[in-house]
Amino acid sequence: MQSYVPVIMPEIDLPKEASLYSSCSLCAPKARVIWGEGNPMARIMVILDNPGAREDSAGKEYICGTRQTLQGAIFKAGLQLENIFLTYLLKCRPLHKYNKDEVRAFSRPFLVSQIEQMKPELLVLLGDVVVQVMFENKETSVKAERGRWHKLMGTRCAVSYHPLAVRRRPNLMPIFLEDWKMAASALKSVR
């Protein structure tokens, strides 16, 4: 069996609307706006809550645990990274306390516009924060929504746990893999 080695996915160039995002209260002077990474023409758009750390204390780029867990599951499900574009609800990594509802409400239209422009075949929402914001329902959760297909903005959409939750609770890994296999199967059926 072929083994998997995590890779640093290239960040895409910032679009024009990224300059408008810099007015978000989350964007501290040291915060970097990250619009997404991977293949912008990918068939699957994966949405996480926010970018994580990208450099160690010495400034060397590394692959965080969230991306390691995510890429490992994608590989085990039989998908290739060229079929994946990873983006975020919040376009900056939080470096200070912030008004979560306000920042999420500010950020959502940017993500909606990104989905409309990129037109992926499948969306995969990871974590309760993304699910609640994108489904516009603070009462829902991954546990309530995973395991079946949804329609979001006219696009087939799956829901699963945040990779960090999977790292912290290894009992979620089989469920996480099952969700990724569902996405892989759907991608094959679309061809």
> Given phi > 0 = left and psi -120 to 50 = alpha, else beta, which region is 154?
left
Local structure of residue 55 (DSSP, 8 states):
B
Choose which CATH entry (3.40.640.10, 3.40.50.2300, 3.40.470.10, 2.130.10.10) describes domain 35-190: 3.40.470.10
Per-residue pLDDT reduced to its tens digit, 139-178:
999 999 999 999 999 999 999 999 999 999 999 999 999 9
Distances (CA, A) of 103 to 24, 50, 53, 109, 123: 7, 11, 19, 11, 22
Q: How far apart, in whole angstroms, are the C-alpha atoms of residue 137 and residue 154?
A: 18
Percent of the chain whose pLDDT exceeds 90 = 75
Per-residue pLDDT reduced to its tens digit, 6-24:
888 999 999 999 989 988 8
Q: What is the pLDDT of residue 64?
A: 86
> For residue 69, what are the contacts with CB-CB under 8 A and spacing of at least 6?
163, 164, 166, 167, 176
- Please say if the pLDDT value at position 183 is more than 60: yes
Nearest to 145 by CA among 124, 174, 170: 124
Percent of the chain whose pLDDT exceeds 70 = 95
CB of 156 closer than 8 Å to CB of 149: yes
Which sequence spans correspond to the domains of the chain?
A: 35-190
More confident residue, 2 or 185: 185
